[in-house]
Amino acid sequence: MHLTCLPVGSRARLLHLFTDAFKSELLSVSFLAPLAAEQTQKNIMLLALSKRGTVSYPTQALLNRHLDEMYSTSVSSVGTRLGDREVLGFSADFLGRRYVGGEGLLPQVVDVLAELLRRPYLTEQGSYPAERVETEKRNLRDAIRAEINNPRAYAMARCLELLCPGEPFALPILGREEDVAGIDPAGLKARFCALQSEAAPVFCYVGAEPADRVAAYLFDAFDGYGGAGTPYQTVIRCGAETVRKEETTPLSQGKLSLGFRTDLDDVEAIAPVLVVLNEIYGGSPASKLFLNVREKRSLCYQCSSTIHLQKGVLCANSGMKPENRAVTEEAMLEEMRHIAAGDISKTEWEAAMRTLADGYRQINDSPAAIARFYTTRALRGVRESVDEWRDRVLGVTRDQVVALAGHLFLRAVFFLNGSGDAGEDDE
């Protein structure tokens, strides 16, 4: 797959990945914004309000009908973290030209993205409609509260907060419930105007249209949009103590989340090593956590680990009978100690490397995965292909993994205790 990088006006870039392997195509727009309590929540609100209606499609129903008529084009909003920054934007998935005829859907998709980013529906006075703002505030508040509906994700989020105190990364992506009340149409309009003049958009197109055609459509629709952009930033800090916190719910199972950080601050250099370490530790069904803590000791059904590469963070998670919490925690830590002691079998090493290689090759089979890979790198200012990244990961040595394990420290433990009161409620 060939990557072409083109400017779109003076402020935006297009990552063009030519492929005719798919029947659908993808066009996304993303940009960085600061992760800051006073802005992040408004940014998320703006994405939601854009999908409530635009100048050309003033209501949610009209916008969605238009997308349906575009052969079920789907547009999703993007609001996530990258290092200590927020990534905002939209991503559209649509049928390729050979299935819809004529000029294809690309010009219409570009128009919809421009509508969403540049032309939200406003009142005659030029502000966001108050009743829509109130509805979306209510939805945001509900979404923040609903985090507990997924106990595993909740435990992981609390663990990350304990792990990165005072860092932007620790800020919940939906913001804090107590801040929602202060959001008003005027503040949102001000934030919208700021983004219009500050954002440095990265467009990513995966499909069979030529790059200059895509760039021309984008230039017409986004001319004058954006500004210097928010530079990428990440904070690497290890801390000196392990912080522990516990909450209790009536659930029957406890959720344990262990947070590790490294004291090595060259995050680019350790990133591929952390990927391999995670794969061996808890990244797959061939990992130490799965095979030893789950399969051999039957302590839990779910036991795995994930990484936040740009923060040098590894988080291990499991769900177990609350009374097995201590023994499970010790079993999970023991597996990490084994890695630090060099106890990595040839089978474990080869399985991890093969699985990783397989996973990177599979990226080329998904327009969404391709776009995600190249967009996050472009936002970080890194130019690297999937093959180059794969080679870096596969070039990691066992000594590097062992050395990194010695520099990973348990710094946060969050336990969502289950009191078991759930029982067979109302049955």
Partner 1 sequence: MKRETKWFESDLLGERYSLTRHRSGLPIYVFPKKLTTTYALLAADFGSVDNVLPNGEIMPDGVAHFLEHKLFSNADGSDSFERFSAFGADANAYTAESRTVYLFSCTERFADSLAELLDFVTHPYFTPETVQKEQGIIAEEIRMCLDNPYNACFYGMLAGLYEKHPVKNEICGSERSIGEITPELLYRAYQTYYGLPNMALIVCGNVDTETVLEIADRHLPQSAAPYEEPVRRVTVEKPAAVTRLSVRHGQVAKPIFCIGVKDTGLPASPEERTERDVLLSVLNEMLFSPAGELYNRLYDANMISPGLSTDYVLTRDFGFWYLVGEADDPQAVFAEIERYVEEKQKTGLDPADFERCRRIEYAEYIKGFDATEEIANTLLSFVFEKSDYFGYADVVRRLSFEKAERLFRQFFRPEACTLSVVLPWDAPDKENTHE
Binding site for partner 1 (CB under 8 A): 21-24, 48, 59-61, 64-65, 67-69, 71-72, 93, 95, 99, 135, 138-139, 142-143, 145-149, 151, 249-253, 284-286, 290-291, 294-295, 298-302, 319-321, 347, 350-352, 354-355, 357-359, 361-362, 364-367, 418, 422, 425-427
Nearer Cβ to partner 1 (225/290): 290
Q: How far is the CB of 120 from partner 1 (least distance, A)?
A: 17
Nearer Cβ to partner 1 (10/298): 298
Nearer Cβ to partner 1 (146/190): 146
CA–CA gap between residue 169 and residue 261 (Å, rounded) = 13
Q: Which of 85, 110, 112, 45 is nearest to 198 (CA)?
A: 85
Asked if residues 23 and 71 have their Cβ atoms less than 8 Å apart, the reply is no
Q: Is 380 helix (H, G, I), strand (E, B) or coil?
A: helix
Tokens representing 243 are 């912080």
The 3-state secondary structure of 30-74 reads EEEEECCHHHHHHHHHHHHHHHHCECCCCCHHHHHHHHHHCCCCE
Q: How far is the CB of 313 from partner 1 (least distance, A)?
A: 24
Q: How far is the CB of 236 from partner 1 (least distance, A)?
A: 31
% helix / strand / coil in the chain, to the nearest 5? 50, 20, 30
Nearer Cβ to partner 1 (197/306): 306
Q: How far is the CB of 208 from partner 1 (least distance, A)?
A: 13
CA–CA gap between residue 287 and residue 303 (Å, rounded) = 10
Q: How far is the CB of 142 from partner 1 (least distance, A)?
A: 5
Nearer Cβ to partner 1 (282/418): 418
Nearer Cβ to partner 1 (99/197): 99
Asked if residues 79 and 86 have their Cβ atoms less than 8 Å apart, the reply is yes
Q: How far is the CB of 60 from partner 1 (least distance, A)?
A: 6
CA–CA gap between residue 320 and residue 322 (Å, rounded) = 6
